[in-house]
A and B are shown apart, each in its own frame.
Chain A
Amino acid sequence: MDVQGQQMTEPKTAPGLFKRNPPIAGEAEAIERAKAGDAEAFSKLYALHKRRVYTLCLRMLGNVSEAEDMTQEAFLHLFRKIGSFRGESAFSTWLHRLTVNLVLMHLRKKGLQLVSLEETINPSEEDSPKRDFGSRDTQLAGSVDRVALERAVASLPPGYRMVFVLHDVEGFEHNEIAVMLECSTGNSKSQLHKARLKLRELLRQAESTPQDNLKEAAL
């Protein structure tokens, strides 16, 4: 019996974040110099991490000017707090957690109540993915490129997108996400599942109209 999924059994442990975020050459020295207030080291750390921090902000916020503001905030915060980085996690993990928390704080200030995730950023019923009890379809596997996925993620409802980005892209665990979003782990799990179902729906839609997309892109 060849049950699908056997090939993907890599256990997901917390230290996995180290694996996913391996140290970058020159980073450790830059961190030490930045701790001593070396301006060039700040510049080096910014250069090393700006793309990932900005991309994270952009995915969480969905707009360029807010994402740039929060990138700025995140690095200023980083430079202020770098003395407290002890190297217990990968630097990029630490930086990303700091960024996520700043973005969430910003969203809360704007009045987006992340506390009751279920109520406020859970999309309405008609937005939620269809249950898939019966329909037979071709499989997605192997057919989705990065651009299509990025586009589908961008069009997820904000609550789904948040959990998907934090868990599946950034690699945070449900218990960490629950703390960040001030929700239950159960809530985080179910949001993630709904997010993936919705993505599947979006990706299938995109697949079923590839010609139109190509035309649009060409114009």
Chain B
Amino acid sequence: MTLQKSNRSTPLSCAEFQEKLPDLFAAGANGHIEDPALLDHLSTCENCSALVRDLQYIADQARQLLQPTHEPSDDVWKKIQESLAADPSYAEPNEK
């Protein structure tokens, strides 16, 4: 150890950088990075910047999946109707 205060001076390794990613992405900014040490690594490491880009891309693309692609068979509604007909208590105004 030198006398130098070294929390910034030692460049992060890829492993150290990637360890921070779950929290970075969870912080709500979807990988938007402000920490200078991390930015430093990101700007010099092609591999990690590709990783961050891909993870952002995946999270972003996931929203497309909210649009549904599948449809239940007609049987489902038939069964629901049968149950509704059999039980008059559905949506009784007084029910809590």
Contacts and interface: CB of A to CB of B under 8 A. Distances in A.
B54 A141 contact: yes
Interface string B6-43: 00000001110010011101101111110000010011
Contact of B93 (A9, A36, A142): A36
Interface residues of A, number: 69
Contact of A39 (B15, B23, B84): B84
Contacts of A136: 46-47, 50
Contact of A150 (B26, B65, B89): B65
Nearest to A140: B54
A50 B61 CA distance: 23
Interface string A174-212: 100000000000000110110011011001000000000
A193 B76 CA distance: 35
B-side interface size class: 35 or more
A124 interface: no
A39 B29 CA distance: 44
Contacts, number: 187
Contacts of A68: 72-73, 75-76
A8 B62 CA distance: 14
Contacts of B26: 174, 189, 192-193
A169 B68 contact: no
A55 interface: yes
A23 to B, nearest CB: 15
A169 B63 contact: yes
Interface in B72-88: 72-73, 75-77, 79-80, 83-84
A50 B47 contact: no
B66 A169 contact: yes
A200 to B, nearest CB: 5
Contacts of A197: 55
Interface stretch (A80-88, A102-110, A114-122): A80-88
A42 B25 CA distance: 39
16 contacts: A4-B49, A4-B53, A10-B30, A12-B30, A20-B63, A39-B84, A51-B72, A55-B70, A72-B79, A131-B15, A134-B14, A136-B46, A139-B53, A189-B22, A189-B25, A193-B21
Interface of B: 13-15, 18, 21-23, 25-26, 28-33, 39, 42-43, 46-47, 49-66, 68-73, 75-77, 79-80, 83-84, 89-93, 95-96
